[in-house]
Chain A
Amino acid sequence: MKTILKAATLALTLGASTMAMAEPIKIGLITTLSGGGAGLGVDTRDGFMLAIKQSGNKDITVVTEDDAQKPELAVQIADKMIQSDKVDILTGIVWSNLLMAVVPGAVAQGKIYVSTNAAPAALAGEKCDPLYFNAAYQNDNLHEAMGEYANKVYKKMFIMAPNYPAGKDSLTGFKRYYKGELANEVYTKVGQTDYAAEIAQIRASGADAAFVFLPGGMGIAFMKQYAQSGVKIPVIGPGFSFSQDVLPAIGDAALGAKASGQWAKDLDNAANKKFVPAFQAEYGRLPSIYAVQAYDAAQLILAAASKASVKDVKAFTTELSKADIQSPRGKFKFNTNRHPIQDIYLTEVVKDNGTLTNKIVEKIFTDHGDAYAKDCKK
């Protein structure tokens, strides 16, 4: 009852603030709702829709479609949404390779894109666009934070990521801050499910710790196998490796793992205290970082919509870049390249009332931007 009341209060306050302007807005949400990556897309959709629902804003319509994690399908859907659904804003894509396929075309047609997760380096620097906003981070950020952390604690690191653009961004980001010795640098196949060969190399490497970026099912497989291998070298990683969507499937093997994140369930601020119970009440599970990012993307759009008409793209994007929202992450603002400036924390996997979740240990970066913003002149 208490949570319902809280949700209702939040809905009313948000609702009141958006009543100023009654301009119909159509949003196209393209995300992954089938296949192995569907968990991330479902959280994205649910987080986004929660903010829209709480706002009570009746002028906003959201069209949702499944991209099945396929770039060519994402492009077709985006074209359809722009041409026949006549959407004003696109959002929702989880994967960087899909985003790279959709965004350049969409912004060229004058549509606004607000990313809920994917943030490839290519769109953050020289090729940034005034119509492209990222509500999540820049791909390198969480890896940079772990590099900074490893610098303080470890002397010799084993680092590993899948062999695709975001995997290379990951190790690049890590090495940008980590200055110690590298025991080995390993790239695995995308979608690999057996890590016995890599675990044997970690064992033999003599490293102090292993930094591992393996999102979704890859991370589940790795952590379970690692726990059984008898290797005692600690594993650290970016938040995706231990986010709420994969923790139940990894099980106790994840306990104690250190990771980086710009949000955790126990982050102490008013917006987060409302968001977590509201999400739980609505969907019956804990939100993941993907849900938070999508929730904020929707909040950003709602905030801009209360001040400007979406038909006036210039005025609307100016309002968007002010980022006038109460994020569950706490402080949130946009950099000059329209990627977030935010705090990044060190988290640890703990058991809370029998449920595995992430707890904040300390702050790694305060007001952290990205390395590409200086090249963005648009």
Chain B
Amino acid sequence: MTFALLIEQLLNGVQLGVMLFLMAAGLTLIFGVMGLINLAHGSLYMVGAFACASVAALTGSFWLGLVASLAAAAAAGALIEITVIRRLYQRDHLDQVLATFALILIFSEGTRWLFGSFPLYLDIPPLLQGAVGLPGGAQYPVYRLAIILAGALVAFGLYALISKTRLGMRIRAGESDREMIAALGVDIRTLYTLVFALGAALAGLAGAMVGALQSVQVGMGEPVLILAFVVIVIGGIGSIKGALVGALLVGSVDTLGRFLLPQALALMVPPDQAGLIGGALASMLIYILMAIILAVKPRGLFPAQA
């Protein structure tokens, strides 16, 4: 194992973490402010990817697709908030899970109805094609570096929004005391719709960026949703900072585990067995991490105040 390989894998871990953060930030924001468990968050990710792929195919521009993904996911988010989600805030979590699960089915079959069952094509924009050299001699894809950069910008933007602006102040107030902020004359319904649309737009952005790396297909959101839930549970539900740390932790542990575990096992057992056992162990690793963290800190690394 060379130094260059290790650097490359660390970057891979950070990049996966950044993607997870975009998903987890919206999820944890919605839970923190509205107390809502939104299983349909993965569907908004899918909406973003499909919007980007279809606009990019129509116009030939990935960047217009990216804008479309933000707009489409935010619009879809606002629409379901007004029509469905709004009725769920006062209900218990089981009702929320049932209703948002129904939304997953509606989104999936609706997308299939519109776009068909076959995966769509979405390519990386020419500007970000190819790979660049890293210190140590390794090559790294430009597009993945761009994802890391975009994620860092979003993280910084979210931090600025929540701690420095009036809207952010209201979001924080909404997290701490819902009744009081409503009593003070803040239009809580609009605030909720805004927060939901913001979370949805972040998921849509993640979907569009990942769509260029993977296959844009129905059901692409659910595996990411599960990881995003692991991230917010580790980070502390409702905490953006927790989501960032949790996402980077999960991204790095997953990537390095997939790469190091089989190698470590190969020192003890034959290589084909090492691959099999190592692969199986690596896919459990983040859940083991979650269990350990919850055993030590039952409310996650950065528990929200509430």
Contacts and interface: CB of A to CB of B under 8 A. Distances in A.
Interface of A: 33-36, 38-39, 41-42, 163, 168, 171, 182, 184-189, 191, 193-194, 196-198, 200-201, 203-204, 216-217, 220-221, 224-225, 228-231, 245-246, 248-251
Which one of B1, B129, B144, B279 has the highest number of Cβ atoms from chain A below 10 Å of its Cβ? B279
A228 B131 contact: yes
B149 interface: no
A197 B112 contact: no
Contacts, number: 144
A196 B256 CA distance: 11
Contacts of A250: 121
6 contacts: A34-B108, A35-B218, A193-B214, A216-B215, A224-B214, A228-B143
A40 to B, nearest CB: 9
B74 interface: no
A36 B1 contact: no
A186 B271 CA distance: 9
Contacts of A186: 262, 275, 279
4 A-B pairs with least C-beta separation: A230-B131, A220-B215, A187-B279, A38-B117
B215 A217 contact: yes
Q: Which applies to chain B's interface (DSSP): helix, strand, loop or mixed?
A: helix
Interface string B257-288: 01100100000000110011011101100000
B2 A204 contact: yes
B258 A198 contact: yes
A372 B281 CA distance: 31
Given A191-B223, A217-B119, A197 B259 contact: yes
Interface residues of B, number: 55
B255 A197 contact: yes
Contacts of B124: 224, 228
B130 to A, nearest CB: 7
Contacts of A197: 9, 12, 255-256, 258-259
A250 B4 CA distance: 28
B119 A220 contact: yes
Contacts of B1: 204
B271 A221 contact: no
Contact of B118 (A39, A193, A229): A39
A249 B144 contact: no
B259 A163 contact: no
A185 B141 contact: no
Contacts of B109: 34
Nearest to A191: B223
Contacts of A204: 1-2, 4-5
Given A204-B2, A249-B217, 14 more contacts: A185-B275, A186-B275, A193-B210, A197-B259, A200-B5, A200-B12, A204-B1, A217-B214, A224-B212, A228-B130, A228-B142, A245-B118, A246-B215, A251-B121
A189 B255 contact: no
Given A38-B117, A197-B259, A249-B216, A187 B280 contact: yes
B301 interface: no
B130 A230 contact: yes
Contacts of B223: 191, 193
A203 B259 CA distance: 13
Interface in B1-48: 1-2, 4-5, 8-9, 12, 15-16
Which one of A33, A191, A193 has the highest number of Cβ atoms from chain B below 10 Å of its Cβ? A193
Contacts of B303: none
A230 B108 contact: no
Contacts of B4: 204
Contacts of B259: 197, 200-201
B190 interface: no
A187 B271 CA distance: 11
B194 interface: no
